[in-house]
Amino acid sequence: MIVAVVAVVPACVSEISPGQEVAVCGRLDVHSVAAVRAALHDILDRGHGDLLIHLADAEVHDANGLGMIVGIHHRAFGVGRRLVLVDVSPRLDRLLRVSRLQRVLARGPGRREVTVVASGHAVAPEGGTVALSTL
């Protein structure tokens, strides 16, 4: 019998701007969402206005991660704030589209954001590059 041990990267929350902007990294699953949720609740309670959450380095693998994001969205609304997702990974973007959560959750500009104009050409953010794929 062969047993493979896979190292799990713990999730982390780094405050970029106190009470206003955070970066979440690591795997958001059943083992980590409680700690991430508690940290984000604390940050929500200390700030005002939009809370920007950078998710470029976060890995959402199951419904627990999505549920945590939706729960933070509801909590933000309850305290008079708005949750804004920034730098969403392509995988998370697909999950948000499939679950139709992109209709509910606000999105902010990020390094992966691409604006598609009517001609079908892509316009990259300043200094960025464009990579298009079909969904």
Q: Where are the domains of the chain?
A: 12-123
For residue 6, pLDDT over 90 is answered with: no
- Mind listing the pLDDT tens digit for each residue in 86-127? 999 888 999 999 999 989 999 987 644 433 333 344 343 444
Which among 28, 100, 27, 14 has a CA at the least distance from the CA of 68? 28
User: Given a cut of 50, is residue 48 above it in pLDDT?
Assistant: yes
CATH of 12-123, one of 3.30.750.24, 3.30.465.10, 1.20.5.510, 3.10.20.30: 3.30.750.24
Write out pLDDT tens, residues 10-46: 889 999 999 999 999 999 988 899 999 999 999 999 9
Is residue 50 over pLDDT 50? yes
